[in-house]
Structure 1
Amino acid sequence: MKQKLAIAIIWTFSVAAHVRTLSFIAALLLGLSSQAFAHLTAEQQSCKNQGILLYNQYKAASATPFLLIAAEAGDAEAQFYLAERLRKEKQFMTAEAQKWYEESANQNNVYAMIQLGRSDDNLCVNMGNCPESTKTPAQWLKGALDLTKPVAESGDPEAMYLMYELTLKEEWLEKSANSGYALAQYWMAIGTRQGDGFFLPWKRHEAIGNWLKLSAEGGYPPAMMEYAAFIYEDQGDLTVARHWIVEAAKKGYKSGVSSYGAYSAHSPSLYDFPLDRVKGYALTSLLSELDGGGDVQVYVNETLPEIAEKMTPEQISEASEFAKNWKATHPPLSFFPEKLSR
């Protein structure tokens, strides 16, 4: 009944409907509202948040029990992330992963529909052991397209990006980027750098920088780091480059934190960061929280002693306080993996 209601809403309101109404429809149909169909208790919501946090830190095993609690409560987003975690663990579509994708997809989560639609390309196809589905991959993709296209045509930037994922038509990626979707802007930069489009050589370089700048300004941490590197390699204003490294660190992005820490401690000295070993040691030490995800601990074990040997015990104690204050006032560390992974 809720699915029929959601679809009916799309056809009831025209493109010219009120912006707030369109935003609600987009959130409802694209599975962007964390509780579109499930009303979580405070404890279940906390488990969901913790599960997604751990997932984004590449701590898949630790994330599973938290995600499972919210998924079993009916939360579509938790169901999607749980399915992603289970699929990635085996590197192919398992029966359990498919079950949770379908639970999420049946609540109109387009991200889950797309992953089910992509299962034709899954390793289990070659292995001949794909689990049975209630629909074919083509049917799931058509369902995702039917839900996404009206929202994209109404001007929703994220829906435009999903249309690109569904159709692989560059025009949708560009529309999304021009509408301000930071992830689309990032991929416009990457595609342009890899040779997409027709540019004079110096214009291509300019276009790459412009897209990275827009994506960084839109709040996408990987673009912040890419833009900082772009400025550095282009011998541009290092004040601007430093700014974006710091901003990426403030967002909790692992690469931003590790770079800000290393460059502050001059291990190595890049981007003309002022020497501040207390800050450098503190930020590097925070990365230990990612132990178990992304092989970060190896880096920490190598870098911290290099910084510490040039510090006094008092400075190391000061760094410990700095780290505590940073953690209390900034978002949790994250690798910021893309939601639609392969």
Structure 2
Amino acid sequence: MESPLNFYRNFNEETFDDVSCFLCGKECDSKTAEHIFPKWLQHKFDLWDKKLTITNGTAIPYRNLTVPCCSECNNVHLSRLEEKFMLLLDKSFHELTFDDEKIIFQWTAKILYSTRYKELSLLVDRTNPKLGKVISPQELESYSSLHLFLQSIRFKTKFNEPKPWSIFIFPCKDEDFWYHNNIPALCLSMKFGKIAITIVYEENNLISDFMAPLKDLSKIELSFPQYLEANAHIFYSAMLKEKVPHYISSFNQNTEILIVNTVGTLNSRKWVDEEFASVLDFMLFSCGINIGASVLQPDGLVTTFLVDENNVHLLKKHFKKKRQQLIRVII
């Protein structure tokens, strides 16, 4: 029986090879692979032959984005997670409970972490192997907390408040799939046709609290530029993090329950409209939306898409007030 301090293979023991499970770290008992973006998702949105651009600019077909995974994690733990997540998607993530949010957290965190894990085996430049891999095992260590959180897929886990995530749900007008992440800021967004999730990790739910006006957008069908702008607000808020909380865990060997506690608080630097504008500019540009100039206007104001047919801002006056609260409270 594993000791309570070794209920999974931690980063100090991890081999990061193609025969060790990306989730539990143990040597795979059979040659299995976990699709980072599950097959059901790829078939639903015709992603099989489409490509995802990773951090070094390489575009890889979704079908080839796999990581080593043992049969128990693949066929038992992750299979159950996929079933639970699909049920939430089928109901458009409506009226989420804490346990529902935990499922979303697990499912999306698996995608973010396993994408980084995949980059361990990919060369920066296949024509010049001496440049090494896209990411080193040492760099992956910065995801040790996220890796710990993923063990909640394998074991019953209690996340004591504050929960280490913020989740936003956005209804959308078009039916296209879209995925974007910001790896340094630990956040991602995925649009499943007419419903989308945006999530930030390891920030003690503060971004959800202080960007609360964005929650009102869950009642409005957004155009794609409006959805991108909402994401830009959240992603930039995550990029402002300068000091993140630490997490400690305990594992009861008899009950096999993992308990995660937070140590410390989140600190963030000041919001700068020019920086926010550059984030929104990048999102628009990467999606092929050309507005002819930066959203930052000569007078310092930022162009917004979040207006209704009467040119009334969807967030009215609340957003500016809440954003200033974010700055004052978490700096």
TM-score of the pair, normalised by structure 2: 0.28
Computing the radius of gyration from Cα coordinates, the structure with the larger value is 1
Q: Which has the higher helix share?
A: 1
Structure number with higher relative contact order (C-alpha < 8 Å, ≥ 6 residues apart): 2
